[in-house]
Structure 1
Amino acid sequence: MVGFCILAGILLVIFSASFILVVIETIQSEYSYVSIPPGVNNPGKLRLVLASMISTSVMGKILEKLEVCSELAFTRYMRSGKKLGPDPQLWLTDEQFCRVPVRVYRPRAPSAGLRTAAIFFHGGGWRYCGIDFYEKICRYIAKETDSVVVSVGYRLAPEHKYPAAYEDCLNATIHFMKNTQHYGVDPDNVIVCGDSAGGNLAAAVSHTLVGRSDLPKLRAQILLYPGLQGVDFNLPSYQQNRGVPLLLRERAAFYALQYLRGDALDLKEVLEGSHIPPDMRLKYRKWVSPDNIPEQFKVRGYKPHQPPEFKADVYEAVKRFCEPNLCPLLAEDAVIQQLPESFILTCEYDVLRDDGLLYKKRLEDNGVRVTWYHLEDGFHGIISLYEFYSFFSFPSGKRGLDRVLKFIKGL
């Protein structure tokens, strides 16, 4: 008995030491540059969210070391959300659109005419989250705007590389647009909407549907702090907010590479910018350049970045970064000019802020009507935390979400 207690004590010490080591390694490798600016909405609460992120990452690494499950599987579980019970104001149905899982939210109250529909693509770096995580947001949109909402559960990376998520979102959208009468929806009032990676997918779907003669034109696209390019990870917002949760600069490039090719072997080169040939960089400069960012967004600091020597082997490995279906900011003017009315939300403390600002400029330069709303105290992912847990919900995120509702009602 004594021997067993001694052995148990030794194992406990070893496990405790291993736990501490994993904590230290995780913070050093993933969170060493974290900073929470005082101007962000409720910085104390954001620290709690950060602590939750670190805890999840640490526990995932421990479980992976113990061969219980992978870190990715554990993180997905923690970010999966849960399906809520019935809603007295909505009909909820889980369906398949072209083998893509969707959840449809339909107001129970009778309508005087055909309704608007919003097709929603969730965020999560193309790796995490899903329909259940965004359940409260989709219910809120459906009830407050009296619209039909379709939440799309696209395939996730790295198991399913680009263009899997894009194809799922496109196929689900086309299926719905061909069957709007079944849901009491006006075919001329269909919106695509998404946050973060979902904003990327919404923009890509919008571009693809331009000029389709067999479908009605989309009424609008709603892009919430979208990631829209993989050419330059050294724009002012990437420098200023490199360590601001929920999305760190290195994580942004990591997720993009995971979606593109299922790994992040060339992460350092992509961050530095050696993956783009000089002639292509020159071509894209008219669209992706700090010169196109208003000066007011550089006051927190910006140092012009000179890309290192071009590496042809890296370009060959990641050249699909230059495809507009992956990086919508690189679409030609002929496509941009035909895009529907757009709503873009950006956050000051977000590495993807400048992606949204550059896309806003491109749309406006090409005659597309844009409604822009900027959360001066917002950070990346703030809207996704809406009522996820009461103590993780931020007033600024609610303001942004309510602006989305106002836009939809005004269409």
Structure 2
Amino acid sequence: ALLVLILAVFIAAFILLVVGAIYFDFSNSEIPLGVDQPVKLRIVHSILIGTAVLGKILEKLGLCSQLGFTRYMRRGKKLGEDPKLFMKDLQFGKVPVRIYQPRAPSAGRRRGVLYFHGGGWMFGSINAYETVCRYIARESESVVVSVEYRLAPEHTYPAQYEDCLTATTHFMKTAEDYGVDPAHIIISGDSAGGNLAAAVCQTLVSRPDLPKVHAQILIYPCLQAIDFDLPSYQQNCGVPILFRERMAFYVLQYLKGDASFLEDVLEGSHMPVDVKLKFRKWLSADNILKEFKVRGYKPKVPIECSNEVYEAVKKFCEPAFSPLLAEDAVVRQLPESFILTCEYDVLRDDALLYKKRLEDGGVPVTWYHIENGFHGIISLFDNGRLSFPAGKKGLDNIVNFLRSL
């Protein structure tokens, strides 16, 4: 009887947890009318919230950490054999990678694609991106290298960037061993991985000892941590699956392994006014087309910051952390680029501002904007009953770009 009672209490607690997660989702988020599959997005977000809440409960009970539980639930799994691909787990330097090679014979060497996964520099893995990387390799007939970089908060900036740079340089030097043309290597990534891809591409501009990067693919990338009040941050601050506050939390975890000074970052008091003015030519809502402000935008008056806060976060200004802030001389040398943005995404304007910088520097840019898209939609292109057709269209545009190179 006691066992039945304990089980009943556990089930009741679980139901309350689910109901609480759904209530939290409804009360703290906003799903715009124009978004793709709004009910599915609500379900996906409720699952993510429920996982986080359950992780917190388990942490309070001393069973595991919330971070460890959330990573476990999001880890994905290595899928079985693929009739069209050879797959192998390797180490490039000391960095784990998974390589996907088309089985079909090729007349010449193939293009190679490095892929850096998203997840706020804290989550994500090779396994979590199996479906995406397999699809790119199969459909574009490219060799894809998925990189398992170290994660925050255990490893902070620049560890993730260094791992991606190490894996990239190793692949460039050994490309022919995998049937890849060293002159046709593309660097890509989504979200935090898009940040890493942009940073690595900029670094390789000054590496004459290596082949030139052929192209970069940036999928809703985070490209700066100076201004969290751009139009897209204001318009989409509560749109799943990436809230404005969560983005600020992630950049702080990446930088220093904790979220102290979160409020300063959100209110914009983490950077001195003179620093903001210095970067204004590249980082300003004035550089964003009016059509992206119609859903609402209120310019914010700059406020002063304390030296203590600035000293703690001043590395936000380094181009390896905020690629949008790179010098013109670097931007002009970047390779042909593909940029994907989503309308209902706080990071939309980071990418739009970088697109403008690339175009102003004479770099060819292919831009695909998912009008009904939200952050993370590409990863959900083939997610069973919770799949999003707009994500599939976005991924197909990436494949078409690769095939055109």
Letter in 2 for 1:248: F
- Secondary structure in 2 aligned to 1:179? helix
Between stretches 344-353 and 134-143, larger displacement belongs to 134-143
Give how far 1:309 is off: 2.4
- Higher mean displacement: 308-317 or 82-91: 308-317
Deviation at 1:386?
2.1
Aligned: 1:123 with 2:118: yes
Partner of 2:135: 140
Amino acid at match of 2:400: K
Question: 2-side partners of 1:46 and 1:350: how far apart?
Answer: 13
Describe how 1:7-406 pairs up with structure 2 within 5 A.
20=16, 32-387=27-382, 389-406=383-400
Percent identity reads: 64
Distance 1:219 1:270 in 2: 36
Which amino acid in the other structure matches residue 387 of structure 2?
A: S
Using the alignment, how far apart are the partners of 1:277 and 1:12 within structure 2?
56
> Residue 27 of structure 1 contacts residue 54 of structure 1 at CA under 8 Å; is this kept in 2?
no
Deviation by residue 1:220-254 (Cα, 9 ceiling, x = unmatched) = 00000000000000000000000001100000000
Q: Which runs of 5+ in 1 are unaligned?
A: none
Q: Give the Å deviation of 1:279.
A: 1.2
Q: Report if the CA contact (8 A) 1:19-1:62 is conserved.
A: no
Say if 1:222 and 1:320 are closer, same or farther in 2 by CA, change over 3 A. Answer: same
Q: Secondary structure at the match of 2:128?
A: coil
- Read off the aligned partner of 1:365 and give its amino acid letter: D
Structure 1 residue 307: Cα displacement = 3.0
**Alpha carbons 2:21, 2:46 under 8 Å: kept:** no
1:248-292: CA deviation from partner (whole Å, max 9, x where unpaired): 000000001000000001101001111111111101111111101
SS at match of 2:334: coil
Counterpart residue identity of residue 400, structure 1: G
Separation in 2, partners of 1:324, 1:170? 14
| Contact 2:342–2:372 (CA under 8 A) maintained in structure 1 | yes
Q: Residue 28 of structure 2 aligns to a residue in which SS?
A: coil
The 3-state SS of whatever aligns with 2:362 is coil
1:32 deviates by 4.6
In structure 2, the CA distance between the partners of 1:267 and 1:105, relative to structure 1 (3 Å rule), is same
Note if contact 1:385-1:393 (Cα within 8 Å) is conserved in structure 2.
yes
- Partner deviation per Cα, 1:155-210 (whole Å, 9 max, x = no partner): 00010000010000000000000001101111100000000000000000000000
User: How many correspondences in the alignment?
Assistant: 405
Unaligned 5+ residue runs, structure 2? none
What is the alpha-carbon distance in structure 2 between the residues aligned to residue 171 and residue 27 of structure 1?
44
> In the alignment, is the contact (CA less than 8 A) between 1:272 and 1:307 conserved in 2?
no
CA drift of 1:212 comes to: 1.1
The SS at the match of 1:299 is coil
